């Protein structure tokens, strides 16, 4: 572990020399983002900050609308919990077992919410009940991050997630 940390620290320092501004937001332990900063630079010769500035210069080619589906948070969380229960009933554990057999190394997709918790269960690190509760909790946290992200967006249309489907379709069609 110590060797990995010193290797990661070295990568972090390299990335910081390439793009100090981007690295202000990246933790010393965030391997994925550190490597991504290095990949961008190696592939393009530009750092991420430069690329972000350039991409914002380009005029948006499409006329688009953003719709936020609003639903009471308590109801949303109840639905998330129910959806997780349904996923378990419909074979999530078997699906993960099959994937582990097929892929001896973990692809990035296996880090998705639901998969990684079931892997912990299958490795006897947590109980089945703990895995299910962890999936529910992480799914709720993800939903909360999405709600926070949407709050920053201006000029969005908010539609009621509990309204009749046809009413929401009409709102969307009106643009």
How confident is residue 110, by pLDDT bands cut at 50, 70 and 90?
Answer: confident
Give ranges for CATH 1.10.287.890 in the chain.
66-174
What pLDDT score was predicted for residue 13?
92
Top CATH class of 2-57 equals mainly alpha
pTM more than 0.85: no
User: Which pLDDT score is estimated for 102?
Assistant: 87
How confident is the model over 14-37, as pLDDT tens digits? 999 999 999 998 988 888 899 999
Structure tokens at 59: 């005029």
CA separation for the pair 142, 146 (Å, rounded)? 6
Burial grade of 29 (CB within 10 A; 0-12, 13-18, 19 or more): exposed
Q: What is the pLDDT of residues 32-61, one digit of tens each?
A: 899 999 999 999 999 999 988 888 887 878
Considering the chain, tell me which residue range(s) the CATH 1.10.20.140 domain(s) occupy: 2-57
Among 3.10.20.30, 3.20.20.480, 1.10.287.890, 1.20.970.10, what is the CATH number of 66-174? 1.10.287.890
Per-residue confidence (pLDDT) for residue 118, from 0 to 100: 96
């Amino acid at each position: 572990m110590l060797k990995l940390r010193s290797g990661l620290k070295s990568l972090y320092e390299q990335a910081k020399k390439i793009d100090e501004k981007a690295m202000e937001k990246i933790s010393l332990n965030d391997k994925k983002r550190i490597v991504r900063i290095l990949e961008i630079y190696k592939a393009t010769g530009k750092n991420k900050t430069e690329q972000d500035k350039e991409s914002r210069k380009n005029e948006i080619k499409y006329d688009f609308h953003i719709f936020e589906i609003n639903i009471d948070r308590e109801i949303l969380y109840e639905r998330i919990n129910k959806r997780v229960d349904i996923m378990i009933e419909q074979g999530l554990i078997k699906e993960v077992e099959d994937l582990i057999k097929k892929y001896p190394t973990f692809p990035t997709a296996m880090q998705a919410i639901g998969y990684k918790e079931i892997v912990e269960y299958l490795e006897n690190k947590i109980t089945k009940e703990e895995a299910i509760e962890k999936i529910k909790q992480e799914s709720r946290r993800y939903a909360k991050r999405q709600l926070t992200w949407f709050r920053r967006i201006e000029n969005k249309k908010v539609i009621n997630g509990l309204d009749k489907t046809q009413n929401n379709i009409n709102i969307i069609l009106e643009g």
